[in-house]
Amino acid sequence: MTDTRLDVLTIGNAIVDVIADTTDAFLEAEGLTKSSMRLIDAEEAERLYSQMGPARQVSGGCAGNTAAGVSAFGGRAGFVGQVAPDQLGQFYRHDLTAAGVEFTTAALDVGVPTARSMILVTPDGHRTMNTFLGAAQHLPSSALDEQQIRDSAAIYLEGYLWDPETPRYAMIRAIEVAREARRKVAFTLSDTFCIDRHRDGFNELIDGGRIDVLFANQAEIEMLAGVAHLDTAVEAIRGKVETLVVTRGEHGALATRGAERAEAAAEPVGEVVDTTGAGDLFAAGFLFGYSRGKSLEQSLKLGAIAAAEVIQHYGARPEADLRALAGELAA
Amino acid sequence: MTDTRLDVLTIGNAIVDVIADTTDAFLEAEGLTKSSMRLIDAEEAERLYSQMGPARQVSGGCAGNTAAGVSAFGGRAGFVGQVAPDQLGQFYRHDLTAAGVEFTTAALDVGVPTARSMILVTPDGHRTMNTFLGAAQHLPSSALDEQQIRDSAAIYLEGYLWDPETPRYAMIRAIEVAREARRKVAFTLSDTFCIDRHRDGFNELIDGGRIDVLFANQAEIEMLAGVAHLDTAVEAIRGKVETLVVTRGEHGALATRGAERAEAAAEPVGEVVDTTGAGDLFAAGFLFGYSRGKSLEQSLKLGAIAAAEVIQHYGARPEADLRALAGELAA
């Protein structure tokens, strides 16, 4: 993995989070499943927005959060995603660039605005996401900078990209380019609903040997394997990918590579303020370690450090200097 | 003050806050005066934005914050301010409307975007504001709904409106309409730099008897009076307005009306998280009480309750139900 310009290039939906407090009664009245992510169209986005409370806006999107995390470790990170030429798009670009992430995908004017996810936070801290993909679902294969992919030690893709057809093809093309250049391909299953929607497509990617590093949480790996038992699910999937990483919240995480298996405990945290971005930041830490040739155990530890930082404050992007937090591990 | 449709109609700059963490070194390198508010043009806004870190966006603006506060007490609040027909403007309108505030000023397309204030937060919690007024400085007198003004028990204007010429005339016109309808006119001096820029204009308003309720903090009233002594400054100004309200942070607040003088202690707070909006919310509580015929002391207490709530969380708009916090006082 020498002669690379970037450690990790992430590809995903460029989404601005629009976050408002709400009540359980509101979720019920709206018929929303707490803690889920659903995709909505422009009309529903407009309607829901008019019903929800005052909001704050922060840049989000899983792959964007992961890229910001890699950069906070001192890694060289890039992001590919589609924004529109509007204020939300400018805001999104600013935030990634200011975080030290290379983001060169040009804005695209196809008459729809930059994606936003309306996130409703109940008093118990759960977040229910309503995502209008807007411009993000128009990421064309032609927007990929293939040299940028070849220049990256690893690319990282989110399962959510599979939802709309256009970025799905861009994602498949990115995997081809990376594999031809013998770069690593990492993939996250995103969430159980996403697996449910795209089980066949995900199985084709994984069974076809096109994924080197697979990220999942416990519920996701069990759903993918079709068994409600962690070890059985891990055994069923581990042989299909070079590296498998399974996060388990406060129970830590595990990773396998061939016959090797490593575990890491969760890092101690003070108060859990907001769990959004925990998985994205775990992936950031692990991928930073992985792309720098660290051991499985070291990479898991880097993931745990990043996840612990991000859940101790609001927002899904790191606020602390993760490189400093990781000390020698990040050297 | 019967037969009014609104308790308080606030008029001010419609500004979205763009908030980022920074360092003292950054402020120094940029030549910025910590804790001040400066006005910047589009070019400087672009340049500074490209230099500052990842940001979050929340609706702000003094008068908008005050209107949201009045509404959170169960008061009937309205806001007048100029946004552009863009995403920031939609965001601003949503947040006020969702807070129960009547905001009917139409968006105006004059080729400049909605105002934003880039707020740089140093580790000591101080906030240095860089405001690009954009559309806000184009609020024309013709945007005023004069019947709305006549329907309001009190109007509340911010000194910042005096900065650009167009809204200055709108403000003067609003005062005329309110006075003709025998409605109360409240005014905040905004900040000491603003007084410095517009001392003559402010004195003309106040000496001319066009202000019923004047809001100032200690530094502002001393600056307006030209004496560095609180009691002397209060004595110099109190005769020029019906009601004078002076806030003093953790030292509480005082108010005068004719020969009457009342004081209130600051409400106890746990941790002070972010002092932005303390003055705006104090004004909200006081004006809510004032417009409902409460005593000076009760109105001060309502102001103190609102200010205490807003400084215990990030952001300049109330998150708690102020009406519930105020109990019988808000009945």
What is the DSSP pairing of strand B56-59 with strand B152-158? unpaired
Integer angstrom CA distances of residue B136 from A236, B154, B166 = 61, 22, 9
A297, A253 contact by CB (below 8 A): no
Instruction: List all residues 6 or more positions away from B251 whose beta carbon is below 8 Å from its beta carbon.
Output: B266
Cα A234 to the center of its chain, rounded Å: 21
pLDDT at residue number A140:
96
**Domain at B82, CATH number:** 3.40.1190.20
CA B282 to chain centre: 9
**A142 in contact with B, Cβ within 8 Å:** no
Confidence at A2, pLDDT banded by 50, 70, 90: low
pLDDT in tens, B144-155: 999 999 999 999
Q: In what order do the strands lie in the sheet with B243-247?
A: B102-103, B77-80, B6-11, B152-158, B184-188, B213-217, B243-247, B253-257, B260-264
What's the token pair of residue B188?
A: 């905040």
- Look at the alpha carbons of A51, A55, A59, A62 in this order and tell me if their dihedral is positive or negative: negative
Judge whether B125 lies within some domain. Answer: no
CB contact under 8 A, A54 and B54: no
- Average pLDDT, integer, range B157-169: 94
Residue with tokens 């003709």: B180
Residues in A touching B98 (Cβ below 8 Å): 20, 52-55
pLDDT tens track for B287-296: 999 999 999 9
> Does residue A47 form part of some domain?
no
pLDDT at B240: 98
The reply to whether B94 touches chain A by the CB within 8 Å rule is yes
Q: Which residues of A touch B49 (CB under 8 A)?
A: 94
Condensed to tens digits (0 to 9), the pLDDT of residues B303-321 reads: 999 999 999 988 899 999 9
Contact at 8 Å (CB) between A321 and A310? no
**pLDDT-derived band of residue A11, with 50, 70 and 90 as boundaries?**
very high
pLDDT of residue A273: 81
What pLDDT is stored for residue B16 in this prediction? 97
Here the tokens at position A24 are 């359980």
Q: What confidence score (pLDDT) does residue B1 get?
A: 45
B88 at interface of A, judged by CB pairs closer than 8 A: yes
- Please indicate whether residue B78 or residue B2 has the higher confidence score (pLDDT): B78
B56 within a domain of the structure (yes/no): no
B39-56 residue pLDDT tens: 999 999 999 999 999 999
What one-character-per-residue DSSP string does A50-116 give? Answer: HHS---EEEE--HHHHHHHHHHHTT--EEEE----SSHHHHHHHHHHHHTT-B--PPP--SS-PPEE
- Check CB contact of A47 with chain B, cutoff 8 Å: no
Count structural domains, chain B: 1
B101 in any annotated domain: yes
For the residues A218-233, what does the mean pLDDT come to?
A: 96
Residue in the block written with tokens 């001192």: A74
| Contact status of A135 with chain B (Cβ, < 8 Å) | no
The DSSP bridge partners found for residue B255 are B245, B262
Average pLDDT over residues B255-283: 94
Residue B213 pLDDT greater than 80, yes or no:
yes
For residue A206, the model assigns a pLDDT of 97
Confidence band of B2 (pLDDT split at 50, 70, 90): low
- Rounded CA gap, A160 and A61, in Å? 10
Chain A CB contacts of B67 below 8 Å: none
Residue A331 reports pLDDT greater than 90: no
Question: What is the distance of C-alpha B310 from the center of its chain?
Answer: 14
> What is the SS3 assignment for A300?
helix
**Secondary structure element (H or E) that encloses residue B215, with its range:** strand B213-217
Mean pLDDT of A1-21: 91
What is chain B's alpha carbon radius of gyration, rounded to the nearest angstrom?
Answer: 18
Is the CB of residue A215 less than 8 Å from the CB of residue A290? no
Query: For residue B257, what pLDDT is reported?
Result: 98
Chain A residue closest to B20 (CA)?
Answer: A95
Beta strands A15-21 and A56-59: pairing type?
antiparallel
HEC profile of A223-268:
HHHCCCCHHHHHHHHHCCCCEEEEECHHHCEEEEECCEEEEECCCC
**Residue A101: closest CA among chain B residues belongs to which residue?**
B54
Average pLDDT over residues A321-327: 95
A199 lies in some domain:
yes
Q: pLDDT tens for residues B240-257?
A: 999 999 999 999 999 999
Could you tell me if residue A268 is inside a domain?
Answer: yes
Instruction: Provide the domain limits for residue B103.
Output: 6-11+63-108+135-330
Q: What is the DSSP string of A128-192?
A: EEEEE-GGGGG--GGG--HHHHHTEEEEEEEGGGGSSHHHHHHHHHHHHHHHHTT-EEEEE---H
| Residue A192, domain member (yes or no) | yes
Least confidently predicted of A117-126, A289-298, B3-12, B81-90: A117-126
**A94 touching B (Cβ < 8 Å):** yes
Nearest to B21 by CA among B70, B43, B69, B54: B54
Lookup: tokens for B146:
């004069």
Rounded to 10 deg, the angle between the B87-98 and B62-72 helix axes is: 30
Residue B59: alpha-carbon gap to chain centroid: 13
How far apart are alpha carbons A188 and A186 in whole angstroms?
7
> Helix axis angle, B296-310 relative to B278-291, nearest 10°?
150
Q: A19: which residues sit within 8 A by CB, 6+ positions away?
A: A55, A56, A57, A58, A119, A121
Q: What CA–CA distance (Å, rounded) separates B49 from A135?
A: 23
Distance, CA of A58 to CA of A328 (rounded, Å): 31
* Mean pLDDT computed over A260-268: 96
**Amino acid, single-letter form, for residue B54:** P
Q: Do B94 and A57 touch (CB under 8 A)?
A: no
Main-chain phi, psi angles of B163, to 5 degrees: -60, -60
Residue whose entry in the numeric block shows the structure tokens 């806004």: B45
SS3 B29: helix
Closest CA to A164 of A48, A12, A3: A12
Q: What is the largest CA-CA distance in chain A?
A: 55
Read off the pLDDT band of A1 (50, 70, 90): very low
How high is the pLDDT of residue B36?
A: 85
- Give me the residue from B52, B57, B98 closest to A52, CB to CB: B98
DSSP output for B128-179? EEEEE-GGGGG--GGG--HHHHHTEEEEEEEGGGGSSHHHHHHHHHHHHHHH
Cα separation, B44 vs B39, whole angstroms = 10
The predicted structure's pLDDT at residue B311? 92
Query: In DSSP terms, which residues pair with A119 in a beta bridge?
Result: A19, A129
- A284 lies in some domain: yes
